[in-house]
Structure 1
Amino acid sequence: MANPIITDAKERMTKAGDALQRDLQNIRAGRANAGILNRVQADYYGAMTPISQMASITVPEARVLLITPYDKTSLDAIEKAIYASDLGLTPSNDGSSIRLVIPQLTEERRKELAKDVKGEAENAKVSVRNVRRDAMDTLKKQQKASEITEDDLHDLEDQVQKATDAGIKNIDAIAKDKEEELLNI
């Protein structure tokens, strides 16, 4: 039977990788990706609403996002929200939809974004290591309280370490994929 501490640690390490993947979606790679608008919210009848809930977002060309609002009256609010966001993109409003042209990244900017990816990956690794530390502490407390034997403690510590190694390997793979996406022209 799997120990609940190990199961919880594995789950939390997986969530660290998932969070890294979500964070890396917001780093644009010179290609249109609807994910860059995930955190942009517009004022829709007094409520801040994600653009993805107010409009359909399509990718008609490799470097163009087309935002077509379900309610045409929200077009100006969406445009203002994109201007106010930190995306650095200028929306082009044609009266019924908004086009966002993603500029081609310079080599210098690509390398800068690759460094950002490494920083995000390092933060995710720290999270995984914190989960390992918490699990190890809990296991040692159980052993001191005579809930598990010393042999069980060593076996469970090995399982935690294997889960940690797998979690870090997963994070490295996610970061490597994103770096390759950024650095390939």
Structure 2
Amino acid sequence: MIADVLSETEARMDRAVEAAKEDFSTVRTGRANPQMFQKILVEYYGTPTPLAQLASLTNVEARTIVISPYDKSALKAIEDAIRNTPNLGANPTNDGNIVRVTMPELTEERRKEYVKLARSKGEDAKVHVRGIRRKAKDDLDALKSEIGEDELVRAEKELDALTRAHVDAIDEALKRKEAELLEV
């Protein structure tokens, strides 16, 4: 029973760390990265659709992404969705066949804003991991009548070690992202 609670908790925490890393990849750095466009939703025939399902994204230069839609009628919608995405700072151009997005150079001030955004995403991820820990603690407390006090204390120590390891993994990913953002 304890092992089930701990293994489920570890799996959920692993997913939370992966989600945090994915979130960090959407924060813009000095170079263009197709990952930055993964969470953009395009209004396609009245339905918000992820950009990756509507077009192929190609990184042609360090700061340029070419978006080739599968359906040319979606060009204008893709261009509008990119232009209206906050924190991207991109100005797309549409030549009738593709959308070309050239990312502007990052100023020091903009880099610091992105670091703040990354830290905010990191803190959200850590809060999520702590929420998973809280639920697992409640599940362990519910088992208190079936298991001994010593087993419960041991399980809580394992839970704390799991939580610490996952929070450290988020901090490490955040540190790498900050270094990448501040690199000129």
Do the two structures share a fold, i.e. TM-score over 0.5? yes
Partners of 1:126 and 1:47 in 2: CA distance: 31
Cα separation, 2, equivalents of 1:43 and 1:115: 29
> CA separation in 2, counterparts of 1:139 and 1:44?
46
Q: Size of the alignment, in residue pairs?
A: 183
User: Which segments of 5 or more consecutive residues in structure 2 lack a partner in the other structure?
Assistant: none
Which residue of the partner structure matches residue 141 of structure 1?
A: 142
Q: How many Å apart are 1:62 and its aligned residue?
A: 0.6
C-alpha distance in 2, partners of 1:46/1:130? 35
Structure 1 counterpart of 2:106, one-letter code:
L
1:9-48 to structure 2, matched below 5 A, reads: 9-48=9-48
Q: Which residue of 2 aligns with 1:79?
A: 79
Q: Deviations over 1:77-113 (max 9, x none)?
A: 2212222322331111122111101111111211221
User: 1:34-66, CA deviations, whole angstroms, 9 ceiling, x for partnerless residues?
Assistant: 112122222333433222111111000010000
* Equivalent position SS for 1:42: strand
Superposed structure 1 runs of 4+ greater than 6 Å apart: none
Q: Distance in 2 between matches of 1:100 and 1:13?
A: 35
Q: Which residue is 2:173 aligned to? A: 174
Specify the alignment match of 2:117 in structure 1.
116
Q: Distance in 1 between matches of 2:100 and 2:72?
A: 14
Provide TM-score, normalisation by structure 1: 0.90
Question: C-alpha distance in 1, partners of 2:41/2:50?
Answer: 4
> How big is the shift at 1:5?
0.8
2:3 alignment partner in structure 1:
3
The equivalent of 1:183 in structure 2 is: 182
d(CA) in 1 for partners of 2:170, 2:51: 29
Normalising by structure 2, report the TM-score: 0.91
CA distance in 2, matches of 1:122, 1:31: 24
Identity of aligned residues (%): 43
Residue identity opposite 1:131 in structure 2: I
Mapped to 2, the partners of 1:41 and 1:35 lie a distance apart of: 13
> Structure 1: how far apart are the matches of 2:58 and 2:162?
38
Deviations 1:8-55 (CA, angstroms, capped at 9, x unpaired): 111121122122112222210121111121222223334332221111
> What is the alpha-carbon distance in structure 2 between the residues aligned to residue 55 and residue 68 of structure 1?
5
Asked whether the equivalents of residues 94 and 100 of structure 2 are also in contact (C-alpha less than 8 Å), the reply is: yes
**Residue deviations 1:127-182, cap 9 Å, x none?**
22222222223222312x2x111121121111111111111111111111111110
Q: Which moved more, 1:150-159 or 1:55-64?
A: 150-159
Equivalent residue number for residue 97 of structure 1: 98
State the alpha-carbon separation in 2 of the partners of residues 7 and 142 from structure 1: 15
